Amino acid sequence: MKTDVLIVGAGISGAVVAEQLANRGLDVLVIDKRDHIGGNAHDRLDAHGILIHPYGPHIFHTNSQRIVQYLSRFTEWRAYEHRVLAKVGERLVPIPINIDTVNQLYGLELDETTIQAFFDGVREPRDPIRTSEDVVVNAVGRDLYEKFFRGYTRKQWGLDPSELASSVAARIPTRTNHDDRYFTDTYQVMPRDGYTAMFSRLLEHPRIEVQLDVDFFEFRDRVQATHVVYTGPIDAYYANCYGALPYRSLRFEHEHLADTTQYQEVGTVNFPNDYDYTRVSEFKHLTGQAHAGTSIVREFPEAEGDPYYPVPRPENEALFKRYEALALQETGVTFVGRLAQYRYYNMDQCVGAALKASQYVLEKLGLPLDV
Ligand code: FAD
Ligand code: UDP
């Protein structure tokens, strides 16, 4: 079998590269070892007709107009601003921590003029800021750190925040206002007909062929491709020759509640201190779907299983760099995406990385960029 470009992985990274290359006249074969497209951002109707995200809640948010414009060629959008409450003691309070979080927890009446003085009074200044513990205690002090971050992070990563790069907890800001949105990006939208519909349109091109249930490592000898774009875990590509890169996994427990129209007040409730799961998400909030019942998912972090998260910490970055050095020597293979680049990418960052990788492949194959 022959093709111009073989793309390993039909997730958002692979789908964007496929679309870009096919549009420049290349024949593209996309394979995925799963039985569906969309990678971890895949969505589908459950047995009760509710649109769910089998691999956990996915909310699209970005500051990049270019990326929204690009994806808008493949989907209409629905405006959606995600809100999250955290269960601390018996209360459900907003996370990221804002004025209302502090007031509700401590029975205070702070406002925008007094909240920073409160944080200044409780914070433990750290310099330099290297770990996720540093980030949080430096901003809000030990008590809020222990109420919201320590237990959640230990559960999610199997590591103490002091063992994780600062970038992990830095994803969650501290607010000195009443803004209770989880994200503050300029664009916060969901694909109107779902992610899988958007990916189907990306992949709908006469030059793109998609084959599912195909594992690259079993298939590679049967295909001749001028170039390979690989979006799986980078260590697997090199048969773990330097040892396995740690990835964190999750077990998802989905539940349908036939007689409940709304299970919880917001899209996601975090459980920093109770239970073995980190959070519960209710899909109808995200999708806006009307249905008499509702479907929820609980996320149980696990060490083994499908790779979902790279684990950002210095020793892992050093191991990744060794694999990356091998990857940089390849002339016929490009590595892109959350697993191949070992980056804690959101979907928009995957799109950005995939657009960049597409340009690189086109240049490599000596093709003009704007045919
Ligand atoms: P993937 O989606 O992992 O796709 C890679 C594909 O390659 C997979 O389908 C896999 O089966 C395939 N593959 C791997 N190895 C092989 C092989 N040997 N042969 C064939 N196929 C192979 N991002 C957001 O922007 N907003 C969110 O709200 C959000 N929530 C998230 C919640 C969870 C629980 C998780 C885990 C992630 C979340 N993300 C979110 C991140 C988002 O899922 C990723 O950024 C994005 O889906 C990664 O796309 P990708 O194509 O790089 O990788
Ligand atoms: N985090 C936390 N408590 C929370 C929310 C987040 O400790 O209530 C930390 C935790 O380490 C988590 C990280 O911040 O893994 C990033 O959170 P985010 O919600 O971005 O995680 P994701 O949606 O990527 O799983």
- Indicate the residue among 111, 141, 169 that finishes a domain: 169
Strand 279-282 to 187-191 pairing: unpaired
Cα(338) to ligand 1 centroid in Å equals: 7
157, 311 Cβ separation under 8 angstroms? yes
Q: Structural domain of residue 29, as residue ranges?
A: 2-80+188-245+310-364
Cα(58) to ligand 1 centroid in Å equals: 11
Tell me if 320 is assigned to some domain.
Answer: yes
**Contacts of residue 44, Cβ cutoff 8 Å, sequence gap at least 6:** 36, 51, 52, 54, 196
Same domain, 358 and 231: yes
CA atoms of 361 and 332, how far apart (whole Å): 9
Same domain, 7 and 66: yes
Which tokens belong to 106?
């401590």
- Indicate the residue among 118, 138, 169 that finishes a domain: 169
Q: What is the ipTM metric for this complex?
A: 0.99
Tell me if 315 is assigned to some domain.
Answer: yes
Same domain, 18 and 62: yes
Indicate which ligand has the atom closest to the C-alpha of 82.
1
What does the radius of gyration of the chain's CA atoms come to, in whole angstroms? 22
Residue 101 belongs to domain with CATH number: 1.10.3110
Same domain, 94 and 23: no
What pLDDT score does 368 carry?
65
Same domain, 118 and 225: no
Number of domains in the chain: 2
Ligand 1 site, CB within 6 A: 8-14, 31-34, 39-41, 55-60, 215-217, 231-232, 250, 308, 337-339, 345-348, 350
Residue 42 belongs to domain with CATH number: 3.40.50.720
Candidates 171, 172, 173, 159; CA nearest to 313 is 159
Same domain, 234 and 324: yes
Tell me if 124 is assigned to some domain.
Answer: yes
Average pLDDT for runs of 10 along the chain of length 371 = 98 98 97 98 98 98 98 98 98 98 98 98 98 98 98 98 98 98 98 98 98 98 97 98 98 98 98 97 98 98 97 98 98 98 98 98 84 45
Same domain, 8 and 74: yes
Same domain, 118 and 150: yes
Same domain, 111 and 216: no
